[in-house]
Structure 1
Amino acid sequence: MYLLSRGAGASDGDSSALDWLTARRLVFCSYAAFISYVGFVATWAWVTHGFTGTDAGRPGLDFSIFWTASHLMRHESPALVYDHQAFVKATVTLFGGFANEYGMPWLYPPAFLVGIAPLSLLPFPISYIAFVSGSVVLFVVAALSVSRLGRSVQDPRLAALFVAALPCVFVTAIIGQNSLLTAALAASAVRWLAAKPVLAGICIGLLAIKPQMAIVFPFVLIAAQAWRTFAAAALSGLAFTTLGALTCGARSFHAFLVNASVMRSATLEHGQHFWMSSPSPFSALRSAGIPVTLSYVVHGMIAIVAIAAACQVWRRSSDMRLRASMLAASTLIVNPYVWHYELAWLGIALACVTACGINGRWYLGEQGILVAGWLLPVYEHFNRVAKLPQIGPAVVLLTMLVILRRVRMVAGVKL
């Protein structure tokens, strides 16, 4: 098997012993991860008697919300999706006592509601498997396309194995969230920015299904002077939003904002369970006992620095791997409402930086930071129970520093 022996040193004169991220270790860790995933799900099924208990959850928790929304969309009215009581009642009817324990309101804009309308055409288990499988495939394809990891390791199958085995993929899959799709859209936008700017803009416009994840794109597009992509993103985003309004009714936007406001207060500002599993600076500050207002101020300052860093990378470098990784990491820092499953975006950064290191050289400390980022989704997923310190922002910020250093070393400029 091809060994990742290129780029061994951390810097000129460094020992090749620092290059411990080899192909053999990638394969071993990837297979070990898959085995652990199977063992985890099997143990989970055994403990919950086939996922029939409500005290330990079951796979597809968030997807059950999507499926319920689709059911109401097709059989009742879109307005009922945004009615919290009606929505929870429908979830209880469809999923039994499990929904009593985990009832949540619908927090997505009408554009996403239109997109998931067909989900309930299939029974829940089949729909869930199809949704997750499709999301994983799109994520792997997009990550490999923008990172060119397959070319770096000279083995596309090894590269696909590595990306598919990332813990961020598994965590998102067992929850049944859409972050693999949004991360794939972001990676595809960066991939097609130069060759097909309009297509890149449409990919960004599709993030209207989760608009907070597109928060950094306008800044970096302006920094890169990607005006055609900027225009295409704005027009397509407006078109998708308009489609949602026409399908669900104008009142759906008001209901969406009302639900978002309620959850902002209950979850973002005062939800300890959220802080423990959210890798945002705001959550780290709140979990440390910092008041809400001061937490917003400090988070805002960090967000400004993150946006400035992202714009600097997009101005200084045309390497789409560095652009994509910085975009992904900075989005996680800038957005205060980030659940642990959004770390699928960090998976794009991990693939890109790994490709850079393998194809060129590793710099001191990079591989350790990548391992921390690789493990972070698992840490965040279980931290609501463990209640350990919130280290997510530190890991993501360190990843940003890795990218900034790479841009400085490659471009030969001081950032």
Structure 2
Amino acid sequence: MSVDKPSIIAIVFIAFWALALATGVTSADGWITNSQGVAVDGDYIGVYTAGKFTLQGEPLAAYDWVRHERAQHELDGNPNGAFFPWPYPPSFLFVAASLALLPYFLSMLTWTLATFAAFTAAIARISATRRDLLLMLATPAAWLNLYIGQNGSLTAALIGFGLILLPARPVAAGICIGLLSVKPHLGLLIPVALLAGGYYRAFASAALTVVALALVTTVAFGIEPWLALPDQLQRVAMLAKTTTSTTKIQSAFGMARSLGLSADHALWLQGALVAVLAAAIAWLWSRRDVGFDLKAAALAAAITLASPYQFVYDLVILTIAQAFLLRHCARAGTDAVETYGLIVANVLVLLFVTTPVPLGVVASAVVMGLILRRVRLDRRAGQSHNACPASALPFAGA
């Protein structure tokens, strides 16, 4: 089997990310735990301690900032360390509790590898060729997510499977979309797409999945965690609104704040963007002359732009958008604008920590621009590519 130049470059980058991760594992500061075996101060601590509370029969404690912060500092041995609140619905406590059954090191290792595997499986299902799969696995967002132990790979996998299953298996797709309710702010535009596209079975399946999750969670944990959730979300939103460090908030809101706009003006800007995105997604998904893969790509890219509460680990979803764009272009190939545009977008994601402005949102805008450009080019040429040929199915002929 021959390997082309893009595949070789992708393999080199994958090896680089793996080596960088291994370097973190073997360093004195450590990756999951340090050389003394103590948990390293990081995002996953919030998940693990919430799971421990749940196993102890106190799921409500995950929403108690004082107790949750104390538990995290006891775990990492750093009373002055960062605090990672629990801004998730109680349904996510099932996952946290399952992970907390393991010692901390094995728990985070299991979580990161399992979610990365799920993301890889989604990309493999979407990608038309092995080359495209390798290129998508070389993008930096998933590796950044892997290092910090966040949930971006999981949400990207749910969105990826939800979209790729949608045309042929709408009920299964709806279940994946419904499970995304563990991070509901990522699903703002999905109902718009499903209704505009006429995917009513998927919409119903997603809604029933959300209701079933809520009922099971209430039976398991009681109503109190649900009652505590609104106040928790309000407090987290207030943190994002009042923080002076906005470089990590990869949204139009974060960009506006970093450029000096007030929080209220930044929220108005974000709201206007959501309205534009909703109109664009409704129009795209209602069109018969726009290929499904482009619709899916546009929705995934729009998801990364819609929420004001967006961090770099959420940009794993942007890789799903890129994968669908490449899938659409499997027959005709990408042109120079798309090739260099995708490179620029991923470089911007990688450089997010080096500048005082959130470059991730620029990356999302670049990818969305490339998708809309392809829609315009295809409509001008009278092509929709609603169905991929046999040669463009995953790994066929690659």
- TM-score, with length taken from structure 2: 0.87
Q: CA deviation at 1:39?
A: 3.8
Q: What letter corresponds to residue 196 of structure 1 in structure 2?
A: R
Q: Which residue among 16, 19, 24 is the counterpart of 1:35? A: 19
Contact 1:73 1:117 in 2 (8 A): yes
Contact 1:198 1:229 in 2 (8 A): yes
Q: CA deviation at 1:103?
A: 2.1
Q: Which residue among 363, 366, 373 is the counterpart of 1:398? A: 366
* Structure-1 separation of matches of 2:324 and 2:36: 40
* 2:51 match: 70
Q: CA deviation at 1:53?
A: 11
* 1:366 match: 338
* Structure-1 separation of matches of 2:7 and 2:259: 40
Contact 2:40 2:76 in 1 (8 A): no
Moved more, 364-373 or 313-322: 313-322
Alignment partner of 1:108 is 2:88: yes
SS at match of 2:342: helix
* Structure-1 separation of matches of 2:96 and 2:308: 25
The residue correspondences of 1:3-18 to structure 2 (distance < 5 A) are none
Q: Which residue among 123, 127, 145 is the counterpart of 1:143? A: 123
Residues 337 and 44 (structure 1), Cα distance of their counterparts in 2 relative to 1, 3 Å cut: farther
The residue correspondences of 1:113-128 to structure 2 (distance < 5 A) are 113-128=93-108
* 2:286 match: 315
The residue correspondences of 1:53-68 to structure 2 (distance < 5 A) are 58=40, 61-68=42-49
Q: What letter corresponds to residue 329 of structure 1 in structure 2?
A: A
Moved more, 304-313 or 24-33: 24-33
Contact 1:350 1:373 in 2 (8 A): no
* 1:389 match: 357
Contact 1:146 1:190 in 2 (8 A): no
Residues 3 and 123 (structure 1), Cα distance of their counterparts in 2 relative to 1, 3 Å cut: closer
* 1:409 match: 377
Spell out, residue by residue over 1:202-244, the C-alpha distance to the aligned partner (whole angstroms, 9 max, x if none).
Answer: 1111012111111110000011011111111111111112222
How much is the aligned-residue C-alpha RMSD, in angstroms? 2.7
* 1:246 match: 219
Residues 145 and 32 (structure 1), Cα distance of their counterparts in 2 relative to 1, 3 Å cut: same
* Structure-1 separation of matches of 2:32 and 2:128: 41
Moved more, 287-296 or 24-33: 24-33
Spell out, residue by residue over 1:95-138, the C-alpha distance to the aligned partner (whole angstroms, 9 max, x if none).
Answer: 322x6411232211111112322111111111111111110111
Q: CA deviation at 1:326?
A: 1.2
Residues 73 and 348 (structure 1), Cα distance of their counterparts in 2 relative to 1, 3 Å cut: same
Q: CA deviation at 1:358?
A: 5.1
* 1:169 match: 142
Q: CA deviation at 1:174?
A: 1.2
Spell out, residue by residue over 1:276-316, the C-alpha distance to the aligned partner (whole angstroms, 9 max, x if none).
Answer: 01220010001111112221111111122122222333233
Q: CA deviation at 1:399?
A: 0.9
Contact 1:313 1:404 in 2 (8 A): no
* Structure-1 separation of matches of 2:178 and 2:344: 32
Q: What letter corresponds to residue 22 of structure 1 in structure 2?
A: P
Alignment partner of 1:88 is 2:69: yes
SS at match of 1:412: helix
* 1:298 match: 269
* 2:389 match: none
SS at match of 1:116: helix
Give aligned-pair identity as a percent.
27
Task: Looking at secondary structure, tell me which structure has more helix per residue.
Answer: 1
* 2:258 match: 287
Q: CA deviation at 1:43?
A: 5.0
* Structure-1 separation of matches of 2:103 and 2:30: 23
Q: CA deviation at 1:320?
A: 4.1
Residues 371 and 53 (structure 1), Cα distance of their counterparts in 2 relative to 1, 3 Å cut: farther
* Structure-2 separation of matches of 1:394 and 1:28: 26
The residue correspondences of 1:149-188 to structure 2 (distance < 5 A) are 149-150=129-130, 153=131, 159-188=132-161
Q: CA deviation at 1:52?
A: 5.8
* Structure-2 separation of matches of 1:246 and 1:413: 55
Residues 53 and 74 (structure 1), Cα distance of their counterparts in 2 relative to 1, 3 Å cut: closer
Moved more, 325-334 or 369-378: 369-378
The residue correspondences of 1:214-225 to structure 2 (distance < 5 A) are 214-225=187-198
- Count of residues in Structure 1 that have an aligned counterpart in Structure 2: 382
Alignment partner of 1:337 is 2:319: no
Contact 1:132 1:173 in 2 (8 A): yes
Alignment partner of 1:233 is 2:196: no
Residues 92 and 319 (structure 1), Cα distance of their counterparts in 2 relative to 1, 3 Å cut: same
* Structure-2 separation of matches of 1:370 and 1:352: 13
* Bigger RCO of structures 1 and 2 (CA < 8 A, at least 6 apart): 1
Q: What letter corresponds to residue 407 of structure 1 in structure 2?
A: V
Structure 2: which 5+ runs fail to align?
383-398
Q: CA deviation at 1:42?
A: 4.4
* Structure-2 separation of matches of 1:291 and 1:243: 41
Q: Which residue among 265, 271, 276 is the counterpart of 2:247? A: 276
Q: What letter corresponds to residue 271 of structure 1 in structure 2?
A: T
* 1:131 match: 111
* Structure-2 separation of matches of 1:127 and 1:47: 13
Alignment partner of 1:351 is 2:323: yes
Q: CA deviation at 1:49?
A: 10
Q: CA deviation at 1:80?
A: 1.3
Q: What letter corresponds to residue 218 of structure 1 in structure 2?
A: P
Residues 371 and 74 (structure 1), Cα distance of their counterparts in 2 relative to 1, 3 Å cut: same
* Structure-2 separation of matches of 1:326 and 1:407: 10
- TM-score, with length taken from structure 1: 0.84
Residues 355 and 34 (structure 1), Cα distance of their counterparts in 2 relative to 1, 3 Å cut: farther
